[in-house]
Chains A and B, each alone.
Chain A
Amino acid sequence: DAGITQSPRHKVTETGTPVTLRCHQTENHRYMYWYRQDPGHGLRLIHYSYGVKDTDKGEVSDGYSVSRSKTEDFLLTLESATSSQTSVYFCAISESLGASQLADHNEQFFGPGTRLTVL
């Protein structure tokens, strides 16, 4: 597995509380992503980063914010958690999905996931 860790791995919280999930990589990859995985929906992109301090929204970004102050860390914050944000959250990294023709540079590697329950 590529050097990606997520913390915490499990969290139970209450509605209305702030929650921050951390993704840490040791691969020095440029791109980092946050997905949520829900039954029947597959993997949906929340936010992604294409460099330090450079981020953009995905398809399900409402209620989430992100920050990337260092190459190796990408934080996902739920400012005020809701029950609809109960999900499994995956971080992913890639060097470049599109620009390089080399197979080694095209894979997106996933972290182990964080199971978040909002009561």
Chain B
Amino acid sequence: GENVEQHPSTLSVQEGDSAVIKCTYSDSASNYFPWYKQELGKRPQLIIDIRSNVGEKKDQRIAVTLNKTAKHFSLHITETQPEDSAVYFCAAINFGNEKLTFGTGTRLTIIP
């Protein structure tokens, strides 16, 4: 089955700086990669996703990049703000298999 590794497990950045979270996956057939944000005590919520036929996707301050050859994808947050503090999860899935495999999460702390 699919295995997703996520690094780092914790990350602290100064407000206004950029943050990068990286994930690798094992199943070369995986073709959809969402990122979820979970604030303290809340449910995970989708913030951005990317399909395997796309190399990069942006949504305002958030971007995701995908390298299919190396089987890794990354979340980039620019101009970080205090409300970006949360736990972020990456995930991967193969079309036709309706089961997401999640990474173990990254706790991002934005330092004012």
- Chain A residue with the shortest CB-CB distance to B6: A42
Q: Does A3 contact B (CB under 8 A)?
A: no
Q: Does B94 contact A (CB under 8 A)?
A: yes
When the two chains form the complex, which single residue of A1, A48, A58, A107 contacts B34, counting CB atoms closer than 8 Å? A107
Q: Are A99 and B46 in contact (CB under 8 A)?
A: no
Q: Does A41 contact B (CB under 8 A)?
A: yes
Q: Are B96 and A99 in contact (CB under 8 A)?
A: yes
CB-CB nearest 5 A-B residue pairs: A98-B95, A42-B104, A110-B43, A43-B102, A42-B102
- Assuming the contacts A59-B1, A90-B43, asked whether A97 and B32 have C-beta atoms less than 8 A apart, the reply is yes
Measured between C-beta atoms, what is the minimum distance from A58 to chain B in Å? 7
Chain A, interface residues (CB within 8 Å), range? 20 to 34
Q: Are A108 and B100 in contact (CB under 8 A)?
A: yes
Q: Does A15 contact B (CB under 8 A)?
A: no
Q: Are A106 and B32 in contact (CB under 8 A)?
A: yes
Give per-residue flags for B10-30: 1 if the beta carbon is below 8 A from chain A beta carbons, else 0: 000000000000000000000
A40 to B97, CA, bound (A): 25
Q: Are B44 and A107 in contact (CB under 8 A)?
A: no
Q: Are A113 and B43 in contact (CB under 8 A)?
A: yes
Give per-residue flags for A85-119: 1 if the beta carbon is below 8 A from chain B beta carbons, else 0: 00000100010111100010011101111000000
Q: Does B45 contact A (CB under 8 A)?
A: yes
A14 to B95, CA, bound (A): 41
Q: Are A43 and B89 in contact (CB under 8 A)?
A: yes
When the two chains form the complex, which single residue of B1, B99, B104 contacts A40, counting CB atoms closer than 8 Å? B104
Measured between C-beta atoms, what is the minimum distance from B31 to chain A in Å? 8
Q: Are B44 and A43 in contact (CB under 8 A)?
A: yes
Q: Does A52 contact B (CB under 8 A)?
A: no
Q: Are B43 and A42 in contact (CB under 8 A)?
A: no
Give per-residue flags for A26-44: 1 if the beta carbon is below 8 A from chain B beta carbons, else 0: 0000010100000011111
Which residues from A are CB-within-8-Å of B89? Answer: 42-43
